[in-house]
Amino acid sequence: MRAFANLLERLAFTPARNAKLRLLTHYLQATPDPDRGYALAALTGDLKLRAVTPGLLRGLMAERIDGQLFAMSYDFVGDLAETIALLWNTDRDEDVPLREAVALLTDTGRARLPAAIAGMLDRLGPSQRLAFLKLATGNMRVGLSARMARMALAAMGAPEVKDLEEIWHGLTPPYQPLFDWIAGGARPEQAARAPFRPVMLSTPVDLEQLQAFDPADYVAEWKWDGIRVQAINDGGTRRLYSRTGEDIGGAFPDLIEALNFEGALDGELLVRRDRDVATFGDLQQRLNRKTVSRDMLDSHPAALRVYDVMIWQDRDLRDLPHRERRALLEGADLGSDRIDLSPLLPFATWDDLAALRADPPSPVIEGVMIKRRDSPYVGGRPRGPWFKWKRDPMVVDAVMLYAQRGHGKRSGFYSDFTFGLWDGPQLVPVGKAYFGFTDEELRELDRFVRNNTTERFGPVRSVAPKLVLEVAFEGLNASARHKSGVAMRFPRISRIRWDKPAAEADRLDTLKAMIP
């Protein structure tokens, strides 16, 4: 596992994308099976191991070190795995095979797991301990996407990235058939029917950028506030995948039952009552459920709004231009009233489209999607064929209340901020944000937290309510689970209002008035 630990460390501290690819390619070429396959699965999030909770790890440390020393060390380091890796006391530094660590985290029963983890940590040096704990907690955070991992694989042999993506979701770790194929063997057979195909994604755009293109070459449609899915019926095998390839059909049996076509469709998963599309908050109540009650099926019915088609009646249509795929969809029987086709928007100029975007017919619309009429369906995020022009974000001025240390490269800074709004004379927490600011602004925020701390709770600090943050967010829902009664979607810090007194921050009633 020493090579795996070295890989994680170098990836974490190598910002350049091409340099990361070279590091991973070299590791995959030099590392024997099955260790390289398990490493690849860990880096892409496809390695399913027994969950090791922070509470279990803290319990192990409580048996070995003074609690106050551990708390102070954790507060300084800011990362639980790194703190334990540094404090764990052992003189050994074995090079344990990665497959042995994976077996421990896969096969060990719950009762024996703490002792097994302690025994493994006793055998490892600091860097390997950190790698093992990252593996155990599933927290890699090394700045490497699954697509970049497949690019590294493509650099090793004949298959191209698109060929690898086509079969990826039919493979399981440690990917021996995949590495055999890369080495010149046969293309692996996919493990199941109804395979996931890579989804085509768009790039952000604004009106100024659009002026460089001829609007006659594009079509546009509404961008709905649901989740992007791929719906498949392959010879009677029906699947509903998220855009990352996770099978989510178990939470949506009503929609699975409605997939009465033969093919693979790309669209938006929504909750729809008759013709009215519900808010994302309604859809969220259906997500991540193992079972769905009859009452929930009746009150929150799932629907699919179709954007595109990949496969239709055993024909792969992805190489066809968008206008031909669209024409097929317009003439096709989609098989259920739960499935409909996203309508195209009428516009002749970009200013026409801007006017539509500024006045959508539903609050559940996030903006517009813009697609070249001649574009093939290409998995991933190719620049140019498809754009997304999202609506302007909602904004409130909030007051910083709490700050928490970040992780990884941010472990030395307070970078996760809880903010609140006025409700009468009190500030009520309404959300948390940890991005939207520059590195220089991060240093300034960290300095403010340290100089204005009023209380400490482990890695969290309560700060004097002095600093106003302009918070932008994409959506808002009523929420009984939050004390404030609201839940923001994708909050981020858009500006630090050093100039604004905290007393002039927005009120909770102002935020609630924005709920659709």
Q: Say if strands 339-341 and 426-433 run parallel, antiparallel, or are unpaired.
A: unpaired
- The span from the CA of 1 to the CA of 13, in Å, is 19
Summarised one tens digit per residue, pLDDT across range 270-322 is 999 988 999 888 898 899 888 899 999 999 999 999 999 999 999 999 999 99
What is the value of pTM for the model shown?
Answer: 0.76
- The span from the CA of 492 to the CA of 484, in Å, is 18
Whether residue 45 has pLDDT greater than 90: no
Please list the residues that pair with 475 across neighbouring strands.
Answer: 489
Q: What percent of the chain has pLDDT over 70?
A: 99
Q: Say if strands 203-204 and 492-497 run parallel, antiparallel, or are unpaired.
A: unpaired
For range 504-514, the mean pLDDT? 93
- The span from the CA of 121 to the CA of 106, in Å, is 16
Whether residue 422 has pLDDT greater than 90: yes
For the four alpha carbons of 394, 488, 341 and 200, in that order, the dihedral sign comes to positive
Whether residue 51 has pLDDT greater than 90: no
Which one is catalytic: 162, 223, 409, 500? 223
Q: Quick check: is 223 catalytic?
A: yes
Q: Does the structural domain 2-137 have CATH classification 1.10.10.10?
A: no
For range 409-423, the mean pLDDT? 89
Structure tokens that stand for 509 in this block: 């009633």
Whether residue 124 has pLDDT greater than 60: yes
Count of Cβ atoms closer than 10 Å to residue 131 Cβ? 28
Confidence of residue 498 (pLDDT cuts 50, 70, 90): very high
Q: Which of 325, 150, 339, 323 is nearest to 240 (CA)?
A: 339
Count of Cβ atoms closer than 10 Å to residue 174 Cβ? 20
- The span from the CA of 31 to the CA of 33, in Å, is 7
- In degrees, rounded to 5, the angle at the alpha carbon of residue 47 between the alpha carbons of residues 41 and 50 is 155
- In degrees, rounded to 5, the angle at the alpha carbon of residue 165 between the alpha carbons of residues 161 and 169 is 155
Q: How many CA atoms lie within 13 A of 168 on its CB side?
A: 27
- The span from the CA of 232 to the CA of 241, in Å, is 8
The per-residue pLDDT for 476 is 86
The per-residue pLDDT for 23 is 97
For range 108-132, the mean pLDDT? 96
Domain-wise residue ranges, the chain = 2-137, 203-390, 394-512
CATH of 394-512, picked from 3.40.50.1220, 1.10.1740.10, 3.40.228.10, 2.40.50.140, is 2.40.50.140
Q: Which of 416, 409, 411, 461 is nearest to 436 (CA)?
A: 416
DSSP per-residue string spanning 285-326: TTTT-S---HHHHHHS-EEEEEEEEEEETTEE-TTS-HHHHH
As assigned by CATH, the class of the 203-390 domain is: alpha beta
The amino acid at 387: F
- CB of 309 within 8 A of CB of 328? yes
- The span from the CA of 503 to the CA of 373, in Å, is 52
Whether residue 421 has pLDDT greater than 90: yes
- In degrees, rounded to 5, the angle at the alpha carbon of residue 510 between the alpha carbons of residues 504 and 516 is 155
Count of Cβ atoms closer than 10 Å to residue 220 Cβ? 22
The amino acid at 281: G
Domains 203-390 and 394-512 equal at CATH topology level: no
